[in-house]
Amino acid sequence: MARFINNGQSCIATKRIFVSQKILDEFLEKFAKKTRSLKVGTLSAQKTDIGPMVREDALKTLDGQVKDSVKQGANLELGGERLKRKGSFYAPTILRT
Protein backbone atom coordinates (compact mmCIF):
# COMPACT_ATOMS: atom_id res chain seq x y z
CA MET A 1 0.00 0.00 0.00
CA ALA A 2 2.97 2.32 0.48
CA ARG A 3 3.09 2.92 -3.28
CA PHE A 4 -0.62 3.40 -3.84
CA ILE A 5 -1.43 5.67 -0.89
CA ASN A 6 -2.73 8.96 -2.30
CA ASN A 7 -2.25 7.44 -5.78
CA GLY A 8 1.49 7.76 -5.30
CA GLN A 9 1.03 11.52 -5.16
CA SER A 10 3.02 11.73 -1.96
CA CYS A 11 6.71 12.55 -1.68
CA ILE A 12 7.16 9.61 0.69
CA ALA A 13 5.43 7.04 -1.52
CA THR A 14 7.53 4.06 -2.60
CA LYS A 15 9.03 4.76 -6.02
CA ARG A 16 10.86 1.51 -6.80
CA ILE A 17 10.88 -2.01 -5.45
CA PHE A 18 14.10 -3.94 -5.97
CA VAL A 19 13.54 -7.70 -6.16
CA SER A 20 16.09 -10.47 -6.48
CA GLN A 21 15.93 -12.20 -9.87
CA LYS A 22 15.56 -15.50 -8.00
CA ILE A 23 12.12 -14.57 -6.64
CA LEU A 24 11.02 -12.06 -9.28
CA ASP A 25 8.37 -14.19 -10.98
CA GLU A 26 6.73 -15.22 -7.70
CA PHE A 27 6.88 -11.67 -6.34
CA LEU A 28 5.45 -10.16 -9.50
CA GLU A 29 2.60 -12.68 -9.59
CA LYS A 30 1.62 -11.91 -5.98
CA PHE A 31 2.12 -8.15 -6.36
CA ALA A 32 0.00 -8.03 -9.53
CA LYS A 33 -2.74 -10.13 -7.91
CA LYS A 34 -2.89 -7.79 -4.91
CA THR A 35 -2.79 -4.73 -7.17
CA ARG A 36 -5.66 -6.09 -9.30
CA SER A 37 -7.74 -6.44 -6.13
CA LEU A 38 -7.49 -2.73 -5.29
CA LYS A 39 -10.85 -0.99 -5.57
CA VAL A 40 -10.79 2.23 -7.59
CA GLY A 41 -13.52 4.72 -6.81
CA THR A 42 -14.53 7.99 -5.27
CA LEU A 43 -13.31 8.79 -1.82
CA SER A 44 -16.89 8.73 -0.53
CA ALA A 45 -17.47 5.15 -1.72
CA GLN A 46 -16.98 2.37 0.78
CA LYS A 47 -14.00 0.09 0.38
CA THR A 48 -12.16 2.45 -1.99
CA ASP A 49 -8.42 1.85 -2.09
CA ILE A 50 -7.53 4.16 -4.99
CA GLY A 51 -9.24 7.49 -5.59
CA PRO A 52 -8.92 9.92 -8.50
CA MET A 53 -5.77 11.83 -9.31
CA VAL A 54 -5.63 15.27 -7.74
CA ARG A 55 -6.15 17.09 -11.06
CA GLU A 56 -6.61 16.31 -14.75
CA ASP A 57 -3.14 17.64 -15.60
CA ALA A 58 -1.62 15.29 -13.00
CA LEU A 59 -3.34 12.37 -14.72
CA LYS A 60 -2.00 13.46 -18.11
CA THR A 61 1.50 13.83 -16.67
CA LEU A 62 1.34 10.35 -15.15
CA ASP A 63 0.05 8.85 -18.40
CA GLY A 64 2.90 10.51 -20.28
CA GLN A 65 5.45 9.16 -17.80
CA VAL A 66 4.08 5.62 -18.14
CA LYS A 67 4.08 5.78 -21.94
CA ASP A 68 7.60 7.23 -21.96
CA SER A 69 8.83 4.49 -19.61
CA VAL A 70 7.42 1.81 -21.92
CA LYS A 71 8.95 3.54 -24.94
CA GLN A 72 12.32 3.46 -23.16
CA GLY A 73 12.07 -0.27 -22.48
CA ALA A 74 9.97 -0.83 -19.35
CA ASN A 75 7.51 -3.73 -19.44
CA LEU A 76 3.93 -2.79 -18.69
CA GLU A 77 2.75 -5.57 -16.38
CA LEU A 78 -0.58 -4.07 -15.33
CA GLY A 79 -2.69 -0.98 -15.94
CA GLY A 80 -1.08 1.86 -17.81
CA GLU A 81 -4.22 3.65 -18.86
CA ARG A 82 -6.87 6.12 -17.86
CA LEU A 83 -10.00 4.40 -16.64
CA LYS A 84 -13.11 4.94 -18.71
CA ARG A 85 -15.22 6.71 -16.13
CA LYS A 86 -15.98 10.26 -15.10
CA GLY A 87 -13.13 11.87 -13.21
CA SER A 88 -9.35 11.68 -13.19
CA PHE A 89 -8.98 7.96 -12.57
CA TYR A 90 -5.90 6.01 -13.66
CA ALA A 91 -5.57 2.26 -13.42
CA PRO A 92 -3.20 0.96 -10.75
CA THR A 93 -0.08 0.32 -12.79
CA ILE A 94 2.98 -1.90 -12.55
CA LEU A 95 6.05 -1.34 -14.71
CA ARG A 96 9.00 -3.72 -14.72
CA THR A 97 12.49 -2.95 -15.95
Q: What are 7-23's pLDDT values in tens digits?
A: 656 676 777 889 999 99
Domain count for the chain: 1
Give the chain as a 3 state SS string: CCCCHHHHCCCCCCCCCCCCHHHHHHHHHHHHHHHHCCCECCCCCCCCCECCCCCHHHHHHHHHHHHHHHHCCCEEEECCCECCCCCCCECCCEEEC
- Which amino acid makes up residue 49? D
- State the pLDDT at residue 8: 57
State the residue range of the domain holding 36: 5-96
Render pLDDT for 29-71 as a digit per residue (tens, 0 to 9): 999 999 999 999 887 777 888 889 889 999 999 999 999 999 9
- State the pLDDT at residue 82: 95
What CATH number is attached to the domain comprising 50? Answer: 3.40.309.10
CA atoms within 13 A on the CB side of 78: 15
Sign, Cα dihedral of 65, 71, 75, 77: positive
- State the pLDDT at residue 54: 87
Confidence of residue 2 (pLDDT cuts 50, 70, 90): low
- State the pLDDT at residue 46: 77
The mean pLDDT of 72-83, rounded to a whole number, is 96
- State the pLDDT at residue 7: 62
Full-model pTM: 0.83
